[in-house]
Amino acid sequence: MTFLRFSRDVAFSLATCSLSAATSGSDDMLDDSDAHDDATQPGGGGTAVARARARARRAAHRGAVAPWSAPCTLTPMAVVLERGRGQKRHLDGKRAHVTRGLAGGWTVVSLEDGGSVKWRTGHWQEEGAEPPAAKKTASEPAAALILSLADDQLRDIARQLDTPSVCSYLCASQRFAALEAGSCFGECHLRDGLPSGYGVAKCKQLAFARFLAAKHAKLHSLHVDMGRGDVTVLRLLLQECDTRELTTAQIRVEGARYGQMTRCSGVVIDWSTVHLDQSNPADTLLAEVGSEVKVDTKATITGVLAQFCPALRTLSLIYQGGDAEDVPSLGAIKSLHRLEVNLGEVCRPTSPQTLTPQC
């Protein structure tokens, strides 16, 4: 998916056009007789007010009540509810009557079997209206146009629109755009002590890592703090992401078995059995991640770095309470310019008298 960058003027033009189209549509729907009736009603407040009320009424009937519109009483309209969320999901498919519009894009609908409920405006289908598939086809060109705009411009437009499908597109486009080169997510930070406003909250790091892997994110730098058991997550990241331009990697491996990614992922770790090699929810979670790792992906950190990072120039590999376990594969990363690493010295003296130059 590619995103073209349009100028802000173009974005606002599109927003204006969209709003104008909605407004003009309402005008087209406006019945002069209704306006006349409103204007002639006691307390109607004159022709302009009457026309505005009639316009809002018609728009609400079509499911396009603007979020800034004032609450108004509507003529009951038979609809079939759809797209209910959460506790209202069970109301999908039920017949109801739209009775009263509320502020913020909500409407009160009265159910056929009694009672009323607040429902998102437009999340219904008028009885006898065209099927939703045809609607979707008709809105695709507009959605494609909106997707081609920059994120900040999209947000400005989103404030003016109340079409849920557009909001969905916006959410998707923002997440995709975040994976573009130069964006903050190009730097994958899964680390301790990082404010979640800048990076990713601890409880979401594992999910974020899987999201990056699923989207084959293009990584330029990598900074991961993890436990010994979390190596699977790093293997999955490097296997699935686009690491052709990954030049900097800082990896800290804690001495503990589970790093923050696992500890904060919502699993309850029974620490009394962790060291007994018994089944643990954390292991189950990591096994689930590991199932996505291919068989031919190297097992060690240095091995997977050598396998998937051809442009790696700077590597800081810090083992707390250990040494790099696979130095030969570290030597296979020929592009390295800067290296910081714990190394295991083969010559381990046992006493001062055995200190010899070489073993």
Q: Are strands 72-81 and 95-101 parallel, antiparallel or unpaired?
A: antiparallel
* Residue with Cβ nearer another protein (185 or 319): 319
Q: 3-class DSSP state for residue 317?
A: strand
Q: 3-class DSSP state for residue 92?
A: coil
* Residue with Cβ nearer another protein (196 or 335): 335
* Residue with Cβ nearer another protein (112 or 323): 323
Both tokens of 307, joined, read 């396998």
Binding-site ranges for another protein (CB under 8 A):
300, 316, 318-319, 323, 325-328, 330-349, 352, 355, 357-358
Min separation Cβ 234 and another protein, Å: 17
Q: In angstroms, how far apart are the furthest CA atoms of the chain? A: 110
* Residue with Cβ nearer another protein (65 or 333): 333
Both tokens of 358, joined, read 């070489």
Min separation Cβ 140 and another protein, Å: 50
* Residue with Cβ nearer another protein (177 or 339): 339
Find, among 328, 327, 323, 329, the residue nearest to 348 by Cα: 323
Min separation Cβ 312 and another protein, Å: 11
Min separation Cβ 189 and another protein, Å: 21
Contacts 24+ apart (CB under 8 A), 137-146: 139/163, 139/165, 142/18, 143/169, 145/14, 146/14, 146/170, 146/173
**φ/ψ (deg, to 5) at 101:** -90, 140
Min separation Cβ 324 and another protein, Å: 9
